[in-house]
Amino acid sequence: MSTEDDRWFTEAQTEGVCLGLRLGREILARKTPYQDLLLAETTELGKLLALDGRIMLTERDEAFYHEMLVHPALLGHINPRRVLVIGGGDGGTLREVLRHKEVEEAVLVEIDREVVQECRRFLGPVHRGSFDDPRAKIVFQPGQEFVSNARSEYDVIIVDSSDPVGPNLPLFGEPFFRDCREALREGGTFVCQCGSPFYYPEELKEVHRDLGSVFGYVEVYLGFVPTYPSGLWSFCLAGDQGVPRVPLREPLFSTKYYTPQVHRAAFALPRFVEELLSQ
Amino acid sequence: MSTEDDRWFTEAQTEGVCLGLRLGREILARKTPYQDLLLAETTELGKLLALDGRIMLTERDEAFYHEMLVHPALLGHINPRRVLVIGGGDGGTLREVLRHKEVEEAVLVEIDREVVQECRRFLGPVHRGSFDDPRAKIVFQPGQEFVSNARSEYDVIIVDSSDPVGPNLPLFGEPFFRDCREALREGGTFVCQCGSPFYYPEELKEVHRDLGSVFGYVEVYLGFVPTYPSGLWSFCLAGDQGVPRVPLREPLFSTKYYTPQVHRAAFALPRFVEELLSQ
């Protein structure tokens, strides 16, 4: 029954496909210097964070994304002591990084101070105090600027950006990937999300190609995030000394999505993704 | 820009989540004796078939579902000569079954004659003539009725139904599964779709439990279907002499989603699904 209290957040996932989430209370809606920020309760999926009209997370499925962005890179690295996160102002990626006891320092570089400020305030179950962890350092700066000043400093670099539009555009493409390569220590691993291979195959294809022209090894793997376009989500791992497709250690923490078996299985690509990458 | 030509089909995937597809030309909308049938062009995903307001398929992603419903069962069976399909009036499952050269007869039992009639007419790229294949036999009868009269006749039974509501309700639950077991030959395999483990965990849990009380072995595997709720879709394989989790043969046909690697990987369950099934 539709009433005036029946409010929906609708994301145009493509020109012809949209996903709607029924809303409860709106928490916050404002323009930051960089983007439109919305925080609201949904009726079924916990709190929603949207930037420029795109769903960044819901509390109910954010762990699927954050676990699959972080754990294959960190469990595939022999000793990930220093980790750099570009973007990820909600703190979910930082939270998963800090669950690895090998991590001595995690630097989060976010362009938009207000995202961190409001997520810190309203999304406790997402960041779970990770912003205040003694191993965490938060820097407000454009990611590409920060990375271009780093040399052989990080074991793992994680790019937790939204799509290659607006403030995230400089976080895609060869120049940025070259800087990331320079910022990695020997044996370092780079990982980024590459969008929906079903609705946005070109995005994955380009990132895969550009990473391949910078790093010696690139591997694509997939995860499932219900509130992202199509539900199927792609990630690229890259490095110069090979990229393990298996975990090197058992995870010593509980998860909602990740398992060592899921980690191995995530590299089995559906035929249409294989074909896309071989074109 | 919204105009009066801007029409959308919106499916309430849950009370609080909906998926919208932008429509082009409507092909057909009518009540059959069993359900509301809609066939329409979408602007991005090819033709849409919806029954009672639920997306059964779009041309763009139907192969993902049909391949993952059919090939693990058929390639996991040593010699699938006689195959029974319950439901699947669009012909997509039948098409995939008939690609296996081992199959000598495929019987499709569909309750709703008009679904077959209209899909045969308008969804050529889905059925690809499979209704007229000399190995195919089409029966219009409630599936549970047909199965209850079969004894040791089929190597594989595939239940290609929509959710356990309306005309599909009798295709779930222990009595029906017992009849399917009786209808299978020795070494036979049963497979059915079990919905979204994210939005409808109870459905998967119940089917898994009921199959487990009937068959000696039950295995859950997952696939990805962008236009189904949450995108993540579950299937149950069952049998009395074990259920192989690997293909026994190479597929001798081209696919859009299935690969032997994807087949093996599909049994790696995210933690939340593992937990659901062990409760």
CA A202 to chain CA centroid, nearest Å:
18
Interface check B175 vs A, CB under 8 A: no
Burial of A128 (0-12, 13-18, 19+ CB in 10 A): middle
Tokens of A10: 């609708």
Q: What share of chain B is helix, strand, coil (3-state, %, to 5)?
A: 30, 30, 35
B 90-149: CB under 8 A from A:
none
Q: Work out the mean pLDDT of chain B and round it to a whole number.
A: 95
Residue B103: what pLDDT? 98
Taking a C-beta distance cutoff of 8 angstroms, is the pair A95, A103 a contact? no
Tokens of B235: 């299937």
| Cβ count within 10 A of residue A140 | 16
Q: If residue B139 lies in a helix (H) or strand (E), which one and from where to where?
A: strand B136-140
- Which site among A5, A262, A263 would you substitute to test the B interface, given the most B Cβ atoms closer than 10 Å to its Cβ? A262
Interface check B262 vs A, CB under 8 A: yes
Percent of chain A exceeding pLDDT 70 equals 96
Residue B61: what pLDDT? 98
Radius of gyration over every alpha carbon of chain B, rounded to an integer in angstroms: 18
Its ipTM equals 0.95
Residue A6: what pLDDT? 86
Evaluate the CA torsion angle A40, A14, B17, A222 in order and state its sign. negative
List pLDDT tens digits, range B48-60: 999 999 999 999 9
The DSSP code for B6 is -
The DSSP code for A131 is G
Residue A182: what pLDDT? 98
Interface check A274 vs B, CB under 8 A: yes
List pLDDT tens digits, range A206-261: 999 999 999 999 999 999 999 999 999 999 999 999 998 999 999 999 999 999 99
Fold equal for B7-58 and B62-278: no
Residue B229: what pLDDT? 96
List pLDDT tens digits, range A248-270: 999 999 999 999 999 999 999 99
Q: Is the pLDDT of residue B63 over 50?
A: yes
Identify the residue with better confidence: B259 or A2: B259
List pLDDT tens digits, range B161-199: 877 666 666 787 899 999 999 999 999 999 999 999 999
Q: What are phi and psi of A84, to 5 degrees?
A: -110, 130
Q: If residue B17 lies in a helix (H) or strand (E), which one and from where to where?
A: strand B17-31
- What pTM value is reported for the model? 0.96
Residues of chain A with Cβ-Cβ distance to B198 below 8 Å are 61, 226
Q: Crossing angle, helix B271-278 and helix B201-212, to 10 degrees?
A: 50
Q: Crossing angle, helix B174-183 and helix B201-212, to 10 degrees?
A: 50
Residue A1: what pLDDT? 43
Taking a C-beta distance cutoff of 8 angstroms, is the pair A197, A229 a contact? no
The rounded distance, in Å, linking the Cα atoms of A268 and A253 is 25
Residue B162: what pLDDT? 77
- Picking from A210, A112, A208, A113, the residue whose alpha carbon sits closest to that of residue A167 is A112
B259–A268 CB contact, under 8 Å: yes
Q: Is the pLDDT of residue A165 over 70?
A: no
Average pLDDT over residues A117-130: 97
The rounded distance, in Å, linking the Cα atoms of B94 and B226 is 21
- Picking from B228, B211, B258, the residue whose alpha carbon sits closest to that of residue B72 is B258
List pLDDT tens digits, range B95-144: 999 999 999 999 999 999 999 999 999 999 999 999 999 999 999 999 99
- Using CA atoms in the order A172, A173, A178, A179, what is the torsion angle rounded to 10 degrees? -40
Catalytic residue among A160, A163, A210, A240: A160
Reported confidence tier of residue A96, pLDDT bands at 50, 70, 90: very high
Residue B1: what pLDDT? 43
Average pLDDT over residues B11-24: 97
Is A160 designated active site? Answer: yes
CA distance B193 to chain A (A): 18
Q: What is the CATH number of domain A62-278?
A: 3.40.50.150
Contacts of B114 (CB under 8 A, 6+ apart): B30, B32, B33, B37
Interface check A22 vs B, CB under 8 A: yes
Burial of A279 (0-12, 13-18, 19+ CB in 10 A): exposed
A226–B224 CB contact, under 8 Å: no
B272–A262 CB contact, under 8 Å: no
A264–B265 CB contact, under 8 Å: yes
- Topology of domain B7-58, per CATH? Spermidine Synthase; Chain: A, domain 2 (2.30.140)
The rounded distance, in Å, linking the Cα atoms of A31 and A112 is 11
- Picking from A21, A24, A26, the residue whose alpha carbon sits closest to that of residue A10 is A21
Q: Work out the mean pLDDT of chain A and round it to a whole number.
A: 95
Residues of chain B with Cβ-Cβ distance to A16 below 8 Å are 21-22, 42-45
Q: Which of A2-16, A64-78, B28-42 has the lowest mean pLDDT?
A: A2-16
Q: If residue A35 lies in a helix (H) or strand (E), which one and from where to where?
A: none
A268–B265 CB contact, under 8 Å: yes
Residues of chain B with Cβ-Cβ distance to A272 below 8 Å are 256-257
Contacts of B273 (CB under 8 A, 6+ apart): B197, B204, B220, B222, B234
Q: Which of A95-99, A167-171, A196-200 has the lowest mean pLDDT?
A: A167-171
Residue A162: what pLDDT? 77
Residue B232: what pLDDT? 97
Domains of chain B: which residue ranges? 7-58, 62-278
A14–B44 CB contact, under 8 Å: yes
| Cβ count within 10 A of residue B183 | 21
CA distance B236 to chain A (A): 18
Q: Is the pLDDT of residue A90 over 80?
A: yes
Taking a C-beta distance cutoff of 8 angstroms, is the pair A234, A219 a contact? no
Contacts of A68 (CB under 8 A, 6+ apart): A221, A223, A233, A235, A257, A258, A266
B 231-250: CB under 8 A from A:
231-232
Strands (E), B183-231: 184-195, 217-224
Q: Is the pLDDT of residue A3 over 70?
A: no
| Cβ count within 10 A of residue B15 | 10
